[in-house]
């Protein structure tokens, strides 16, 4: 049995369980709390002593439930929880150090609502920590993100208006499977009916979401993170194909999922994918791979690599 929580903390956890699962039995509470059934009943007793009406009923449909009109106590954070929350906010949103920032304002309200001893430490952490912005992160519109999450939960098909980095805008009808956060960027993992294939769209580039009446069923064995990783480099405007003169096992650690799918080919391997930004692919992604390569496919990528080669060649040219 786990013993890392105080009786009060376990009682509050029991309260949280009863909020989400009214009718839970003592056995169910015990299992979720990681304690004995007798201990679970003791935590229910602590709640009752604190003035929280917890009703119980016997029989096959019995269990514990909160009384009608129950007024719940305020949210209580431990010191570790409060400091961990501040650190997580800074890690994902460096601008939260600014009180005028949307997330920073919310964080300030949370810190002021904490007990003085805990709030003082959280405020000191916020006031004396600095965070460098991640240039690869992208903050999507909260309303758009919420609308997508609601559609995922309701399993409702949506119409999305998407704008690519190059400025092209189009509308797609998709089944939203999941919203995934990856390295500071938010993605919609979905099935596109236009392409009849899995697609991954950056949420910050979705400018409109309209939920439809059509229901959908996601794959039973869906792993959102793994599926996103597999499909980040597919479905974009410009196809890419890059051959490497090295074994797949050696090249693989240097390949980011958005670059495409790596496949064995003779004594080497080939990277097949697509991109909406050939210049970034040529300037930032390919140069990081420390193996000889040849761009076999994708005229836009070949043109971007040629431009980059010309720039570096000019940089080494003899001066008059």
Spatial distance between the Cα atoms of 39 and 51, rounded to a whole number of angstroms:
19
Spatial distance between the Cα atoms of 281 and 240, rounded to a whole number of angstroms:
9
14: phi then psi, degrees, rounded to nearest 5: -65, -40
In this predicted model, what pLDDT tens digit does every residue of 217-270 receive, in sequence order? 999 999 999 899 888 888 888 999 999 999 999 999 999 888 999 999 999 999
Q: Which of 63, 20, 60, 71 is nearest to 44 (CA)?
A: 63
DSSP letter for each residue of 72-114: PPPP---HHHHHHHHHHHHHH-GGGGSTTSHHHHHHHHHHHHS
Say what percent of the chain tops pLDDT 70: 92
Outline where DSSP puts E strands in 58-215: 63-66, 156-163, 169-182, 185-192, 197-202, 206-215
pLDDT at 1: 39
What mean pLDDT comes out for the span 192-213? 93
Calculate the alpha carbon distances from 256 to 84, 99, 198, 260, 262 in Å.
Answer: 29, 35, 18, 8, 10
Spatial distance between the Cα atoms of 113 and 193, rounded to a whole number of angstroms:
47
- The partner residues of 77 in beta bridges, in order of sequence, read none
Cα torsion 310, 312, 317, 320 to 10°: value is: 90
Domains of the chain: which residue ranges?
A: 7-66, 79-128, 142-231, 238-315
Q: Considering only residues 100 and 192, tell me which one the structure prediction assigns the higher pLDDT.
A: 192
- Tell me the CATH number of domain 142-231, given options 2.60.40.790, 2.70.160.11, 2.30.30.520, 2.60.120.680: 2.30.30.520
What mean pLDDT comes out for the span 40-50? 85
* Structural element, H or E, at residue 55: strand 54-57
Per the CB < 8 A criterion, the answer to whether 76 and 12 are in contact is yes
- Tell me the CATH number of domain 7-66, given options 3.40.50.800, 1.25.40.10, 3.40.50.10490, 1.10.10.10: 1.10.10.10
Give residue 184's pLDDT band: very low, low, confident or very high (50, 70, 90): confident
Q: How many CA atoms lie within 13 A of 127 on its CB side?
A: 7
State whether residue 57 is helix, strand or coil: strand
Residue 125 pLDDT > 60: yes
State whether residue 184 is helix, strand or coil: coil
- Chain centroid to CA 113: 27
Tokens matching residue 239: 């196809």
pLDDT at 190: 96
């Amino acid at each position: 049995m786990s013993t890392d929580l105080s009786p009060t903390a376990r009682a509050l956890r029991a309260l949280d369980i009863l909020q989400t699962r009214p009718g839970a039995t003592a056995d169910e509470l015990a299992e979720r709390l990681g304690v004995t059934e007798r201990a679970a009943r003791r935590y229910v007793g602590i709640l009752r002593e604190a003035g929280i009406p917890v009703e119980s009923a016997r029989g096959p449909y019995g269990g514990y439930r909160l009384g009608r009109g129950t007024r719940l106590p305020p949210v209580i954070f431990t010191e570790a929880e409060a400091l961990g929350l501040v650190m997580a906010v800074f890690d994902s949103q460096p601008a939260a150090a600014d009180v005028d920032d949307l997330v920073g304002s919310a964080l300030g309200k949370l810190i002021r609502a904490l007990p003085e001893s805990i709030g003082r430490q959280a405020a000191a952490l916020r006031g004396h920590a600095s965070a460098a912005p991640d240039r690869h992160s992208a903050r999507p519109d909260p309303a758009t993100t919420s609308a997508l999450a609601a559609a995922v939960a309701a399993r409702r098909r949506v119409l999305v208006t998407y704008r690519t980095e190059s400025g092209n805008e189009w509308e797609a009808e998709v089944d939203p499977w999941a919203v995934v956060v990856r390295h500071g960027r938010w993605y919609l993992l979905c099935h596109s009916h236009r392409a009849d294939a899995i697609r991954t769209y950056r949420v910050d580039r979705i400018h409109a979401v309209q939920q439809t009446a059509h229901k959908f069923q996601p794959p039973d064995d869906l792993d959102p993170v793994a599926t996103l990783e597999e499909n980040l480099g597919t479905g974009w405007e410009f196809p890419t194909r890059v051959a490497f003169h090295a074994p797949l096992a050696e090249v693989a650690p240097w390949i980011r999922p958005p670059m495409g799918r790596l496949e064995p080919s003779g004594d080497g391997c080939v990277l097949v994918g697509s991109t909406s930004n050939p210049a970034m692919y040529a300037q930032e992604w390919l140069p990081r791979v420390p193996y000889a390569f040849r761009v076999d496919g994708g005229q836009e990528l070949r043109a971007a690599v040629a431009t980059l080669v010309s720039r570096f060649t000019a940089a080494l040219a003899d001066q008059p």
